[in-house]
Structure 1
Amino acid sequence: MSQTVLYARVSTKDQNITHQKDQAEAAGFTIDRVVSDHGVSGIHTRLSERAEGKRLFDILRAGDVLVVRWVDRLGRNYEDVTDTIRNFMRRGVIIKTVINNMTFDGATKDPMQAAVRDALIAFMAATAQAQAEATKEAQRAGIEAARDDRKRYRGKKPSYDRETYNFVIDQLGLGEGASSLSKVTGLTRQTILRIRDKPDQADAALIKWGM
Structure 2
Amino acid sequence: MSLKTYGYVRVSSTEQNEDRQRIALVEGKCVAEKNIYMDKQSGKDFERPQYKKLVKRLRSGDLLYIKSIDRLGRNYKEVQEQWRVLTKEMGVDICVIDMPLLDTRTAKDLMGTFIADLVLQILSFVAESERENIRQRQAEGIAAAKRRGVHFGPEPRAMPDSFPELCQAWREKKISLREAAECCGIPKSTFYDAAARLNEVKE
TM-score range, shorter-chain basis?
0.5 to 0.7
Residue 54 of structure 2: aligned partner: 56
Whole-angstrom distance in 2 between the partners of 1:63 and 1:77: 26
Indicate conservation of the 8 Å contact 1:76/1:125, yes or no. no
Aligned match for 2:36, one of 25, 34, 37: 34
| Separation (CA, whole Å) in 2 of partners of 1:10 and 1:19 | 11
Q: Name the structure 1 match of 2:80.
A: 82
Task: Report if the CA contact (8 A) 2:94-2:105 is conserved.
Answer: no
Asked if the contact 2:101/2:115 (under 8 Å) is kept, the reply is no
AA of the residue aligned to 1:97: V
CA distance in 2, matches of 1:41, 1:104: 24
Shift of 1:93: 0.8
Q: Which runs of 5+ in 1 are unaligned?
A: 149-211
The answer to whether the 8 Å contact 2:6/2:65 transfers is yes
Residue identity matched to 1:74: L
Tell me, what secondary structure is at the counterpart of 2:10?
strand
Shift of 1:69: 1.4
The one-letter amino acid of 1:30's match is: C
Q: Report 1 or 2 for greater relative contact order, CA contacts < 8 Å, sequence distance ≥ 6.
A: 1
**Runs of 5+ unmatched residues, structure 2:** 149-203
Q: What is aligned with 1:10?
A: 11
- Check 1:106–1:78 CA distance in 2 against 1; reply closer, same or farther (3 A cut): same
User: Which residue of 2 is the match for residue 71 of structure 1?
Assistant: 69
| 1:124-139 correspondence runs (5 A) | 124-131=123-130
- CA 1:109–1:30: 2 relative to 1, 3 Å: closer
1:22 aligns with 2:35: no
- 1:192-203 superposed matches below 5 A: none
- Aligned residues of 2:6 and 2:63 also touching (Cα < 8 A): yes
TM-score (norm: length of structure 2): 0.57
Distance 1:88 1:134 in 2: 31
Report % sequence identity: 30
The alpha-carbon distance between structure 1 residues 99 and 109, as it changes in their structure 2 partners (threshold 3 A), is closer
Q: Flag the 1:123–1:5 CA change in 2: closer, same or farther, 3 A.
A: same
Q: What does 1:130-209 align with in structure 2 at a 5 Å threshold?
A: 130-131=129-130
User: 1:111 — aligned with what?
Assistant: 110
Opposite residue 19 of structure 1, the aligned amino acid is: R
Alpha-carbon distance in structure 2 between the residues aligned to 1:56 and 1:135: 32
CA distance in 1, matches of 2:141, 2:14: 19
- Give the CA deviation at 1:6: 1.1
Q: TM-score, normalised by structure 1?
A: 0.55
Q: Where does residue 172 of structure 1 map in the other structure?
A: none
Aligned length: 144
Q: CA RMSD in A?
A: 3.2
Corresponding residue of 1:162? none
Distance in 2, matches of 1:34 and 1:141, equals 42
Give the number of the structure whose alpha-carbon radius of gyration is greater. Answer: 2
Secondary structure at 1:88's aligned position in 2?
helix
| 2-structure distance, mates of 1:29, 1:103 | 15
